[in-house]
Amino acid sequence: TQLLEQSPQFLSIQEGENLTVYCNSSSVFSSLQWYRQEPGEGPVLLVTVVTGGEVKKLKRLTFQFGDARKDSSLHITAAQPGDTGLYLCAGGDNDMRFGAGTRLTVKP
């Protein structure tokens, strides 16, 4: 079983601050995905990272895949209240597994 550990579990910051959340595993993944989930909704895909060392940017969000393809990070610049949500990383092929998530709250 490929386990994904996310940290921190909870994060509460003020609008305008920067933050980084992490997704770590002892297993190698062919790709990792990041999802964002809002209350009462299913997760929505933000990005897929495939190549070791890859960096992808989505507006104020920067995603990095570790060189060894065992870990990934999500950095948010100048966080806004609209970034509030549960951020989940996921990996695997047939049996895609999710981490427990980081619950982010951005206060105005």
Partner 1 sequence: NAGVTQTPKFQVLKTGQSMTLQCAQDMNHEYMSWYRQDPGMGLRLIHYSVGAGITDQGEVPNGYNVSRSTTEDFPLRLLSAAPSQTSVYFCASSYSELNTEAFFGQGTRLTVV
Tokens linked to 36? 């964002």
Angle at alpha carbon of residue 16, lines to 13 and 22, rounded to 5°: 55
Angle at alpha carbon of residue 68, lines to 79 and 73, rounded to 5°: 10
**Which region among 13-21, 55-63, 77-85, 90-98 touches partner 1 (by CB under 8 A)?**
90-98
State which of residues 28, 45, 55, 78 lies at the interface with partner 1 (CB under 8 A): 45
The answer to whether residue 85 forms part of the interface with partner 1 (CB under 8 A) is no
Q: To which residue do tokens 């060189």 refer?
A: 67
Q: Which residues contribute to the site for partner 1 (CB under 8 A)?
A: 1, 6, 9, 31, 33, 35, 40-45, 48, 88, 90, 92-101
